[in-house]
Amino acid sequence: MEKRVLFRSAWLPWLLIAPQMTIILVFFFWPAGQALHQSVLQQDAFGTTAAVFVGLENFRQLFSDPTYLASFKTTAVFSLLVASLGLLIALLLAVMANRVVRGAPVYKTLLIWPYAVAPVVAGVLWLMMFASPYGVVAYALQQMGLPWDHLLNANHAMALIVMAAVWKQISYNFLFFLAGLQSIPHSMIEAATIDGATPWKRFWSIVFPLLSPTTFFLLVINVVYAFFDTFAIVDAVTHGGPGKETAILVYKVYYDGFKAQDMGGSAAQSVVLMIIVIALTVVQFKYVEKKVNY
């Protein structure tokens, strides 16, 4: 798509795009190229010898490293839980908020503000409720005969970061579901009601199919969120522990590169992450095209 009327100038457009181009060349393309370059080099941790070209050796090592494969699995479980729980709870709340006549704006205001909470703060809030001995939820669980210990029990640690991550993301999903629900024509629901469809049936045969583009879009966004934006939650709540049980991929890139000083391995991990982001972006792009054809 283009404008019919354009301005003419040989230098002005270049001047206008210069700031953006400078930043993306220096801070995006150059580092991304470096990551690609480093991922095929190997250097000892002290930098005493020159880096040698090793081809795909870093990647071969990466994928034969059980802790990396375990991190992949951890990330998959984590993202699946965060995305499915976050979408389910938000959908339920949005459907309810769309139903009620009185108080809907108040509910909306009270539900959306966690979007503004930094992931690290979300992590700390949930930590406070589950820390022993003073955490109220940990105490309640203890009373029910379910001792809680996220420092030693891997499942508890995973549950804690999932809860914090979902808590923060519900507001976002809720807003998009609510917008999706409000765009469904009222006449369709009315027609189904006149034909005798129960609310349950109306939801599954009309509302849910019409929401499917929103749901799919949110699914991609939530997976990206779980992959990348939750680093702060993991770093503040579990430090990837106990052991390496909650070390998601982004945490591992950070840990291996900055704590363990394995630059080649960390760069190879960065490249793998880039490929994942590219795949997700392509999937999302395909969906956008489909939406246009509706």
Q: Which of residues 83-102 bind another protein (CB under 8 A)?
A: 89, 92-93, 96-97, 99-100
Question: Which of 6, 45, 50, 292 touches another protein by CB under 8 A?
Answer: 6
**Of 91 and 158, which CB lies nearer to another protein in the complex structure?**
91
Task: Give bridge partners of residue 42 from the DSSP assignment.
Answer: 52
Which range in 41-49, 54-62, 145-153, 275-283 contacts another protein by CB under 8 A?
275-283
**Of 158 and 230, which CB lies nearer to another protein in the complex structure?**
230
122 vs 101: CA distance, rounded Å: 31
Any contact of residue 259 with another protein (CB under 8 A)? no
187 vs 279: CA distance, rounded Å: 39
Any contact of residue 216 with another protein (CB under 8 A)? no
Question: Which of 41, 83, 111, 158 touches another protein by CB under 8 A?
Answer: 111
| Burial of residue 168 (number of CB atoms within 10 Å: 0-12, 13-18, 19+) | buried
Site map 124..163 versus another protein, x via CB under 8 A: xxx-xx---xxxx-xxx-----------------------
Q: Could you tell me if 136 and 73 are in contact, meaning their C-beta atoms sit under 8 angstroms apart?
A: no
Any contact of residue 38 with another protein (CB under 8 A)? yes
Q: Find the farthest-apart pair of alpha carbons in the chain and give their distance in angstroms, rounded.
A: 79
Consecutive H or E run containing 238: none
Any contact of residue 263 with another protein (CB under 8 A)? yes
147 vs 65: CA distance, rounded Å: 34
Any contact of residue 273 with another protein (CB under 8 A)? yes
Q: Could you tell me if 167 and 122 are in contact, meaning their C-beta atoms sit under 8 angstroms apart?
A: yes
Question: Which of 59, 72, 107, 216 touches another protein by CB under 8 A?
Answer: 107
